[in-house]
Amino acid sequence: MSPDRSIIKQGIADALPLFVPAIPFAFVIGVVIVDSGVSPVVGWSSSWIIFGGAAQLTLISLLGSGAAAAAAITAALVVNARHLMYSAAMAPVFQHQPRWMRRVGPYFLIDQQFALAILRADDDPKTFRTYYLSAGLVFWSMWQITTVVGIMLGPIVPVSWSLEFAVSILFLGLIVMGIDKYPKLVAALVGAGVTYLSAGLPNRAGLLVGAFVGILVGTVAERLRE
């Protein structure tokens, strides 16, 4: 087998198990799209236009709950601001890549892709590129398919199941699994508390106030810890 094919196989084999945790997100996104009143085709287009589960869930849930578009867009972008860290970490690796790859690469840079790619930072440029695109295309195609399945199952799920609550459970799981030090716990609790206190603000602006204060207090707690 040529080295290229073995690298492609490696990329696929590494990506498939990492996709499993994304399956419930894909399913719930499908159901939320159907519930939200956003047209299914438009809702699904977020899978290839945004290609990021947490931001898609945030945007569609908020649009469906009657939030102003500007507030929903801002919230979804804030959710995805963590990608700036990935971009900065991957930038040196991508300097050895051709221009087309530097343009295409960021589109695939989801959480799981970053976790795999950063481990391959020392590969030669061609090997890295082959691996990166193989894994990225696995995540991408699986995401397109599973979100379509979610949308098709959406109308079958009775409204009385209140499956939109699943979004909250999934986000709680993301928070809990991401907390590796107490300032992150502080950021989460303050974010929730301040959002609760500013619930009366129009256009769900309380969400952004809560998020901002949470980030601020988390940063301060981190400084105090050092």
Partner 1 sequence: MTDFLAIVAVGIGTYLSRGVFILALANKKIPDSVLVALQFVAPAVLSALIVALLIDSDGNIAIGVAEVSAFVVGGAVAYKTRNHILTLITGMGVFWLVRALI
Chain positions 108 to 137 lying near partner 1, rule: CB under 8 A, are 109
Structure tokens at 159: 């409204």
The secondary structure of 105-158, three-state, reads HHHHCCHHHHHHHHHHCCCCHHHHHHHHHHHHHHHHHHHHHHHHHHHHHHHHCC
Dist CA 210 CA 212 (whole Å): 6
Other beta carbons less than 10 A from residue 51's beta carbon: 19
Q: How many CB atoms lie under 10 A from the CB of residue 124?
A: 8
Applying CB under 8 A, among 34, 76, 133, 135 the residue interacting with partner 1 is: 76
Q: Which of 8, 15, 25, 143 binds partner 1 (CB under 8 A)?
A: 25
Where does 2-123 have alpha helices with state H? 3-19, 23-36, 40-49, 53-64, 69-79, 83-94, 99-104, 111-117
Selected binder of partner 1 within 12, 50, 137, 157 (CB under 8 A): 50
Sign of CA dihedral 9, 10, 11, 14: positive
Binding part of the chain for partner 1, among 2-10, 115-123, 143-151, 156-164 by CB under 8 A, reads: 156-164
Cβ 169 to partner 1 shortest distance, Å: 4
Q: How far is Cα 156 from Cα 27, in angstroms, rounded to an integer?
A: 12
161 interacts with partner 1 by CB under 8 A: yes
Nearer to partner 1, 12 or 73 (CB): 73
Q: What's the closest the beta carbon of residue 1 comes to partner 1, in angstroms? A: 31
Residue from the set 11, 15, 26, 51 that interacts with partner 1 by CB under 8 A:
51
Stretch that binds partner 1, among 4-12, 84-92, 120-128, 132-140 (CB under 8 A): 84-92
Residues 163-192 close enough to bind partner 1 by CB under 8 A:
163-179, 183-185, 187-192
Residue 16 CB, shortest distance to partner 1, in Å, is: 15
Considering only 92, 122, 156, 158, the residue that binds partner 1 (CB under 8 A) is 92
Q: Which of 13, 85, 118, 121 binds partner 1 (CB under 8 A)?
A: 85
